[in-house]
Amino acid sequence: MKRLSAFFAFFLACTLAFAQGRNLPDFADLAEKQGPAVVNISTTQTVRRGGQMSPFPFDENDPAFEFFRRFIPVPPGSAVPREFENKSLGSGFFISADGYILTNAHVVDGADEVTVRLTDKREFKARIIGADKRTDVALIKIEAANLPVARLGDPQKLRPGEWVVAIGSPFGFDNSVTAGIVSAKGRSLPQENYVPFIQTDVAINPGNSGGPLFNMNGEVVGINSQIYSRSGGYMGVSFAIPIDVAMDIQNQLRASGKVSRGRLGVVIQEVNKELADSLGLLKPMGAVVNAVEKGGPADKAGLEPGDVILRFDGRPINASADLPRIVGATRPGTRSLVQVWRKGSTRDITVVVGEMQEDKSAQRLAKTQRPPEQAANRLGLVLSELTAEQKRELKLGAGLAVEEIRSGAPRSDLRVGDIIIAVISKGATTELKSVEQFNKLLQQFEKGGNVTLLIRRGELQTFITIKGINGSN
């Protein structure tokens, strides 16, 4: 009887496995229908270096190079210029029958020549219409007609766990098909504030960049752009630019060859639980304003450091990364309503959105001098008050310079050289004008409690929460 039960259990398991296998998606039709709209892109860039290149077939670091240089005479003029061609590969796809192609900006960046190869082996020289490095989207064009066009879908309807397919040219292997699922949506990456990336586990490798990401309806929902890798190859984490973001960029590139973005002129950071408690928010949300550019759109509208931006033009700011995307997509000159949290209540502020310019390099600030025989406070900090000269250079009315962080101090992100501008507690902001004033404020906090500080570091302002305050100093 036991053997019979075991047999039926085994039979049932096999039946279920077979049924589940039959339900796995088939990507063959999708690849066959959509593959012709995907192209291979190869670029050539002439790289010039100063001086002349040695005629010897050895690298200058090779020991043989020195031997040949010493004992084999080189006739004058036999050296060749230090100039060579740098080639790279990528992918793209047609968005119009007359030859417009979407790809990544980094695929065609600096290219002297762009060649597009179709699945029928035809090759065309492409013209770069425009590229936007901030979103890594580029628009190129070939002179041809009646070309296969990829159908576009709605990335907003994608759900984590849904099957997706990539077609591209990894390592130059044309029209390679890989599949996986959507791992997450709206991902923010370092230095990539303008794209809510689609994260997938689709195998993406060098050469896939710029290729389409399809949903199971055969519609393009993204452009494969980046991978997270410690080896340089696929490791299970890939990122794609949502196609609606890319199409907005290409519309601007086609119209003017450049992209215009809105800006507020603020420095922001994420609101964590400790900061939310200090500001009197019920939960972590929004983007807290660390600094406001003097004379910028936010300054003219009346936004202040310490404000938490909760909504922009009616759209909620759930995380700080949402704000740059929404503002960047707003047309410069638009009058937008901004909802902020200030001193325990919300208020609406109308701001005229400015236009983003090229990034400016930060300027150096003067170093502070450590005062003699200064005692540490409850945070284990040795502080000094700013001199009149330092206030002028830093453009601050007051503040305390961190001269030393003593051993035994609570762990925090504070650094020597930071300027502590204010203490944030229960939604109230208290500016710091003296070391004595700060020490008295610290006495109001319980041992082991948290304190949130507004600090200046270089040209940026940020909030730092120090956990676990020591006993009385």
Q: Enumerate the active-site residues.
A: 106, 136, 209
- Contact in structure between 409 and 379 (CB atoms under 8 Å): yes
CA–CA separation, 90 vs 322, rounded Å?
A: 29
- Contact in structure between 382 and 376 (CB atoms under 8 Å): yes
**3-class DSSP string for the chain:** CHHHHHHHHHHHHHHHHHHHHHCCCCCHHHHHHHHHHEEEEEEEEEEEEEEEECCCCCCCCCHHHHHHHHHCCCCCCCCEEEEEEEEEEEEEEECCCCCEEEECHHHHCCCCEEEEECCCCCEEEEEEEEEECCCCEEEEECCCCCCCCCCECCHHHCCCCCEEEEEECHHHCCCEEEEEEEEEEEEEECCEEEEEEEEECCCCCCCCCCCEEECCCCCEEEEEEEECCCCCCCCCCEEEEEHHHHHHHHHHHHHHCCCCCEECCEEEEECCHHHHHHHCCCCCCCEEEEEECCCCHHHHHCCCCCCEEEEECCEECCCCCHHHHHHHCCCCCCEEEEEEEECCEEEEEEEECEECCCCCCCCCCCCCCCCCCCCCCCCCEEEEECCHHHHHHHCCCCCEEEEEECCCCCCCCCCCCCEEEEEEECCEEEECCCHHHHHHHHCCCCCCCEEEEEEEECCEEEEEEEECCCCCC
- Contact in structure between 239 and 187 (CB atoms under 8 Å): yes
Q: How many CA atoms lie within 13 A of 161 on its CB side?
A: 0
